[in-house]
Structure 1
Amino acid sequence: MKPFTKHTGKAAVLNRINVDTDQIIPKQFLKRIERTGYGRFAFFDWRYLSDGSPNPSFELNQPAYEGASVLLAGENFGCGSSREHAPWALGDYGFQVIIAPSFADIFHQNCFKNGMLPIRLPFDQWKTLIEDYENQSKSITIDLENQVIIDSEEKRISFDVDPHWKEMLVNGYDEISLTLLLEDEIALFEQQRKTWL
């Protein structure tokens, strides 16, 4: 995975509670065997009208949010089934960071495993960001190494992140590359194991 240390991008607001993984990526699109190409199906039922044209009332279809890479989402984001396709779809759509008051646990871990940073913020700090960015075309900076969000007015908001997941993102590790860091120890173990048999 690509290392994640600091990101600056446009923020988009999707202030809906309990957005489940079936809304993020509907079940009919789970037949694909690739990890890519899901972005065009993200939020499909909200994003498009029945004739296939963009739904003008859907938040993320606003011109102000075009090209957004930071999603300001509502409470309990990513609830429902544990499908890993949900972070695949969000990442392919262009989001690299999701900020919310709370996430479903499995979705939260799946984001980290796929190189995306989910940030939990206390409700009052989250609400301030929502009010600042709603219907606006403004950028935001997320500094993972220093664990701080810098808004469009240079105000700083600290956030917590599990040290294990922070190390994984900062170094661009996935679970396979983390295992390969121990390749010498694994080879030594395998050599020693032969004498035990």
Structure 2
Amino acid sequence: MIVEGSVLAIPRANIDTDQIIPARYLTRIDAAGMGVHLFEGMPDGERLLAQHPGASIVVTGENFGCGSSREHAAWALLDRGFKAVIAPSFARIFHENAYTNALVPVIVPQTIVDGLMSARHIAIDVDGETLRADGGEPIPFGLDALRKHFILGGGFLNYLNAKIPAVRAWEAAR
């Protein structure tokens, strides 16, 4: 599976979930329509999005998604058309929410992130766990083996639903 697209570079660390999607939008339980509010809580967030229409890969600083636990942050990114976030680190709960919703969370060292900030296009090979910026050399990264299946399957719930026939067959054979 290849995830690719143009880049939205945000050279900041500690972008929290309230900057990604402000708390006033957390009353919704559906991901549809969340993307229009993406980065409303971030200084210059709306301007950044306007300057990079159609961007689908975020490159950003360490500890992305820190702060309050909210799946809405991953939903807003996906609903806006983002497929992946590349950072030196993620807050643990955001990292899990990304995997759960099939938003590819790529962790690479800060020096690599610094180089990717000027990239125009990035292609991420999820199966091969490499990325290429502007057609350059492959850069390796790692994904959790089980959670990688969540991404490849379209998210955790889709992954589980695909297992139902095998569970039913096992139950019938007992």
**Normalization by structure 2: what TM-score?**
0.89
Residue 41 in structure 1 maps to residue 37 in structure 2: yes
Which runs of structure 2 are paired with 1:96-175 in the superposition (5 Å)?
96-130=83-117, 132-133=118-119, 138-172=120-154, 174-175=156-157
Please name the residue that 2:161 is paired with: 177
Question: What is the aligned length?
Answer: 171
Contact 2:58 2:84 in 1 (8 A): yes
Distance in 1 between the 2:113 and 2:63 partners? 13
Higher relative contact order (CA 8 A, sep 6+): 1
SS at match of 2:89: coil
Structure 1's unaligned 5+ residue stretches are 49-53, 190-197
Percentage identity across paired residues of the two chains: 37
Aligned-CA RMSD value: 2.0
Gaps of 5+ in 2: none
CA 1:69–1:20: 2 relative to 1, 3 Å: same
Moved over 4 A (4+): none
Between the aligned partners of 1:28 and 1:167, the Cα distance in structure 2 is: 33
* Contact 1:71 1:95 (8 Å CA) reproduced: yes
Counterpart for residue 61 of structure 1: 50
Q: Quick one: distance in 2 between partners of 1:178 and 1:70?
A: 27
- The answer as to whether partners of 1:101 and 1:126 remain within 8 angstroms in 2 is yes
Deviations 1:156-183 (A, max 9, x none): 1011111111122223352432541423
Structure 1 or 2, whichever has the larger Rg, is 1
**TM-score, with length taken from structure 1:** 0.79
**Aligned partner (choices 15, 23, 27) of residue 27 of structure 1:** 23
Whichever residue aligns with residue 75 of structure 1, its letter is E
1:71 has 2:67 as partner: no
